[in-house]
Structure 1
Amino acid sequence: MRFSRGQGLLALAAAVFVLLIIVVVWRRPAPVSEGRPKEEVARNASGDLVVDPQSPILHALVVAQARSVALPHITHFPGVVASEPSRSVSILTPVAGRVVSVSTAPGAFVTRGQVLAVLASGDLAQAYADQQKAQSALTLAHKAFTRAQGVLAVGGNAAKDLDSARNDLGQAEAEATRADQRLNALNANAAYSTRGLIPLVAPVDGIISTVTMAPGNMVTDPTAVQMTMVDLSEIWVNAQVPEDQITQIAVGETAQVTLTAAPGHVIDCHIASLDPTLHPDSRRLEAHAACANPDGLLRPNMFGDVAVTAPEGTQVMVPQSALLMNNDAVNVYVEVAPRTFRRQRVEISYDEGEDVRVLSGLSADARIVTAGGILLNDD
């Protein structure tokens, strides 16, 4: 049987139509069920977040208890090295006279009793003359007293004569003592005194800081300071404490000093005293840290850092990974029940390595989300 050309075209069109129907049916998406999918994190009546037990979010959360730690509070202050006032000595000449020699210079280390300078003084000669006269008078008074005792014993003298001799002896002894003490006060030394010279000696071990006398000078005022020296075996580092941090420092607290000139060297000290008033210009209080200085590393007017360690009570610590920022506030998620979490705002202090100190908003027995909390952050 033969088909006409028109019948062939009609059959082709029918085949294409059937093919199109098959393609449309094959590519149609699966029917959508009318039920709403179950939420992985829902909010309960109290506003807390409840995680579905089948949710992978639950397995991504790490929950741990906050730590309660007793940590010292360390505060840093700028400091300036200064000599301790009780270890700074002004050296004066005991008498007026001419400077014969000066055997020291600023910066020199001297020991106690070391001769620093020599003076020629008429006052020293006068002191020696007074001593000799006092000794002679004492010898004479002693002989007179002995004689009066003997005369009275044989009945050739009155008792009042013995009393008078005893009084003269007492006065002579007092004068001789005064003359000896005067020479001691002048640091009289037999090796120098025979030549009319008086040595100026170091009263303590220390370093000479200033010298204002020179050979040939005339010292006319014994009250004028001729040298100054400091004992640097123990020294102060004056910490400048701002007004709002005064309550964080107290006498007896430990301190560690690091010098600008020696950044790797830490010196252990303690707060010895606090100034009674603040400086009117800087509004700072000076805290004096006493430091042992056996190697002489600390020298006056050096700059450094003073780290003061103050004891504090128990503090709540949490890992930094537990913190979440929300509207410029710091929050953590607290587990209030199994799979139930509540957002809690906290106030924190400075970093302590990988942990931070919580000042308020969290108790030490709270269980918090330490990792994965971002999955609960629904804002």
Structure 2
Amino acid sequence: MSVQILDAVPDAALSLLDWYDAHARVLPWRAPPDAQSSGALPPDPYGVWLSEIMLQQTTVAAVIPYYERFLSRWPTVRHLAEAPLDDVLHAWAGLGYYARARNLHACAQTLVREHGGRFPETEAELLKLPGIGAYTAAAIASIAFGQRAVVVDGNVERVVSRLFAVEEALPAAKPRLRDLADRLTPSLRPGDYAQAMMDLGATVCTPRSPSCGACPLAQGCAARASGTPERWPLKAPKAEKPTRHGLVFWLEAEGHVLLRRRPPRGLLGGLPEIPSSEWTGTPVGGGWHLMDQAPIEVDWQLLPGGVRHTFTHFHLELTIARGLLPRRINPVEGFWHPVEAIETAGLPTVMAKAARHALTPRLV
């Protein structure tokens, strides 16, 4: 089957492009299929870049409202470069993987400072920009500038692994899958082809129960011929994620809650948070042994239950301690924010969960 596909690569690419012309997803950052021939406006490099950064490890449905808000607030690279980083991080709150937002801002500033606010058109030059790796550089080069580039994301890996029934497991199979994707990628309409492969994986060649009857590449697909296409791609067993624990200190005074900002580097870097203890591998239990890390000495009350959040490499379980002060004082670190406007503080998701938990007793 692999030989059959490779012998018919031009026909396979044309079949996929024909399918894309009829079934392309309508997304706010996309130009219509074959925009050049139809006279439609070509894709905006800024929009392509912004969407690709946001889509890393995030679903299309989650990204669309963020993308539209960002584009409305910062319609050009120069607007984004001139924005305060805190504003960008605040607008990003809830999308997760906050290093992407910091790199987004740094990249915009680099583009303005070194490229006059314009994106370079080659993969090699794009790779020099902050936060742009091999996949993003290839996506921008092909989609925004019409260059032949090998664009390989998770959807493309799944399609290619099934076409050729690749028996090597991910992640070790990545070089082999990229080589096969390279051999399939045409020079004709490379941007549309890249997006067609993404759409095929997202809507037809799905992880479970792929719709092989609707696939334009089904005739030469080795996985389909096997009768169990969902078997691919093969994946190495994942290591079990460890669980860390911590204590969050919700301190109120005069209708305000004490927040602080995390260090600029590292997990959730630069974002506001509710003060918390260090996150360790030891269960909190009663929690009292962590009180020496509280921001101030008050009569702390441990709330029942807690919150759980999953990061890329570990689970986090937080217990919440609530304290009250009769009036606001100047904190050693941090700042006071109105409790009734806590949703405007730009808290990352894990801290937004902790805030909801802290406020729950007064809502029930």
TM-score range (shorter-chain normalised) is under 0.3
The structure, 1 or 2, with the larger RCO (C-alpha pairs under 8 Å, 6+ apart) is 1
Give the TM-score, by structure 2 length: 0.18
| TM-score, normalised relative to structure 1 | 0.18
Return the index of the structure with the highest Cα Rg: 1
Which protein is richer in helix relative to its size? 2
Structure with greater strand share of residues = 1
